[in-house]
Each structure stands twice: as C-alpha cells, then as structure tokens.
Structure 1
Amino acid sequence: MKRAILALLLMTGAAMADPAALLNAAANGDTATVAAEIAAGTPLESRSTKGETALLLATHGNYVEAARALIAARADVNAKDAIQDSPYLYAGARGHLEILRLTLENGADLKSLNRFGGTALIPAAERGHVETVATLIAAGVDVNHVNRLGWTALMEAVVLADGGPRHQQIVEMLMKAGADPNIPDFDGVTALQHARRMGFGQMAALIEAGGGR
C-alpha cells in the first residue's frame, strides 16, 4: 500500500513538472508559477524554440522577482540562446541593473561574449547605461576588449551615441578605468578622431585629456 501511494505521489509530481509552464511564467513575470514549477522539479534549463531558458525569458522582461527565484534555485546565468544571449549578457546590454547584479553575484562569466564578439560592457556603453557601465567596470570586465566590428566600449560610446551627458559620463568612466583611447577601429580611426568628426567637443576633450590622439 505504501509503495502504491509513493508511486502515485511520484506520478503526480512528474505531471506537475511542466517546462512550457515554467517558460511561459518566466516570460510573463509570473513569480508564483515560476516558484511552483521550481518546487515541482521542472528542469531549470528547459529551452524555448529559440533556445531561451526561463531565466533568460525573465531577464528579457526585466522581471526581477522571477529571475531572483530562478537564480536562487541555481539557474545558469551564463546559458546562451540561439543568438548567443545569456541572462548576464542581456541584463548588461539592456541595463537591467538588479538582474545584472544577481548574475554577477552568482557566477556570471565576465569573459562571456555576445554574437558580436563583445563583452556585456560594450553594448552597455553604447546604450548609455551609466550605472550598468559602472557596475561592470567594478566587476572587472575588460575595458579594452575589441569586438568583431573592431570596436571597444569607448569606441561604441562615441560612434554609436549622441554625444550627450550620459555618454560623456561613460567616456569619462571608461578613461578613468584604464580604457586605451588609441585603439583604432579597423579603418585605423581612433575614438578621438571620431569624436571630432562627429562634433562631440566635450567627448573629444575628455579623450584628449586622457592621452587620446
């Protein structure tokens, strides 16, 4: 009789474990269902058709509590989808600061690269996420990493930005963190030369003061 009850409980538990439910709940920030699926033993690294884990889906929506529950259950913060996004890389690129900090506290691979061959710092700098850039610099991400486009974080903060206050602050932060202003792009053009060409006078002054040529 006891064996029959145990078997029934095991079967019930198996029925409750539902990867699709976990993925859908994470994508919609439904923390209660995420927690229930974790408790049911649903595999945390289950994947969507695009290779996304539940944690990455929660990160897409910046659903902090759902992400927190998954990370506490030891979901992989470095698991990549079909386009090479991971929870850590995506949180950094999008400026999802709370989730980023959770990933950094739970094994984020600072050398992990996105589909452009860049670190999390490079898109964060491009998109003007000041606090995110500060967090990644403090964590120890390489400020001089060059991606497949031939650009560093400093270069993207100049070339793909608007020259405004947020990007000026990021340029200053990168320079103080040891960014080399004289690493050129694949055409041999430096960040200072780009800043001057684009009319970003304040940026150019910051770069030149840091030894840029």
Structure 2
Amino acid sequence: MRSPLDQIDATGKYPLMIASRNSPIATKVLLEEGAKVDQKDRWGRTAMMHFFCGEFSGRSSSVLRHLLDTGANVQAEDNSGHTALQFWARQLALVELLLKRGALVNAKTLEGITPLACAYSSDIVRVLLQYGADPNIPSSDGCTPLMTAARRGDSEVVEMLLADGADPNAQT
C-alpha cells in the first residue's frame, strides 16, 4: 500500500506539490513527515517548481525556504528543461535566494531560453548579470536576451545588457 505522501490527485500532483502552492504550514508538516522534496509529477516538476507556477501574490517565501532547507535541488529540470529560476525570474528576493543556493544562472530550457531571457525587471537582470549570466546566449530560435529586451521596448535593460557585453550585431 502506498504511503499517503506518495498518492497523487487527479491532476498528477503529490500532496507536497499542492501544499507548496498554498500553505507554508502544510508544506513544513509534510516535509517533517518524510515527503520527498524532489519527487516529480508527470511533467517532471518538483514541489519547488509548483511553488513558482501560476500567480505569486499572497504566497509566502517561507515555503521556498522550507523546501530548500530540506534539500530541494535548485538545479532540477522539468521535462521541458525549465528550472525553478526560469519558472519565476520575476521576484527579486526569490531569484537572489535561488542563486545563493546554487541555481545555474545560464541554465537553458529545451528551447534554449535562459533565466536572463525570462527576466522582466531591470533589478533582476542586474542580479543575474552579477551572478555571471551570459547576455549573448541565444534561444533555439536565435533570439538573444538583448533582442527580447529590444522587442519589449525596455531601454533600461537594453542598456544594461550592452554594458555587460551583449553583442548588438549578433546574428544567430
């Protein structure tokens, strides 16, 4: 008989994955009871990735800290090659926490998308560059972070990327 911690719901999620999106207390209790922190669903996503999925408002960063303190792999990838850093490169404090815990700043999805290409804030771009993000890594369709920022009309990020060595004449 399977442990209740190993049972999945109709959407393929384990209890820890559900708790990570909704409840710091339930997350902590499940981890204390032995829930597997890096167990993957059918999409290859871990509880830490589920924490980042969807709308973030109202979520507690203590959930992420519980997962990390229990040994969650910050470099784990889902079936598409996304890491937690790519799932949520929009919250500065969480990006910094993941990077401090060893997240790969230049990790690429199967489409070649890096966390820098996912970043929509100049503050996050700045932090990623400080941690060594390469502004010249193109995605599989040839788009660099500089091209993405230019397409969005984000002149501040364009300037930051150029100052950090982005090639304005890149042809990919």
TM-score under structure 1 normalisation?
0.70
Per-residue deviation, 1:152: 0.1
Q: Name 1:66's counterpart in structure 2.
A: 26
Is the CA contact (8 Å cut-off) linking 2:49 and 2:87 kept in structure 1? no
Counterparts of 2:19 and 2:152, CA distance in 1: 38
RMSD over aligned Cα atoms? 1.8
Is the CA contact (8 Å cut-off) linking 1:68 and 1:102 kept in structure 2? yes
Paired residue type of 1:117: G
Per-residue deviation, 1:182: 0.6
TM-score under structure 2 normalisation?
0.85
Q: Name 2:99's counterpart in structure 1.
A: 137
Q: Name 1:36's counterpart in structure 2.
A: none
Decide whether aligned partners of structure 1 residues 93 and 169 sit closer, same or farther in structure 2, where only a CA change above 3 A counts.
Answer: farther
Moved over 4 A (4+): 93-96
Per-residue deviation, 1:51: 2.6
Match status 1:76 vs 2:40? no
Q: Name 2:139's counterpart in structure 1.
A: 185
Paired residue type of 1:115: N
Gap regions ≥5 residues in structure 2: 168-172
* Structure ranking higher on relative contact order (CA contacts 8 Å, 6+ apart): 2
Which SS does the other structure have where 1:44 is aligned? helix
Gap regions ≥5 residues in structure 1: 1-18, 20-41, 162-166
Residues 106-143 of structure 1: CA deviation (Å, up to 9, x unaligned): 12122211232111001211xx1111111111111101
Is the CA contact (8 Å cut-off) linking 1:51 and 1:81 kept in structure 2? yes
Aligned equivalent of 1:150, options 81, 106, 112: 112
Match status 1:194 vs 2:148? yes
Larger relative helix fraction: 1
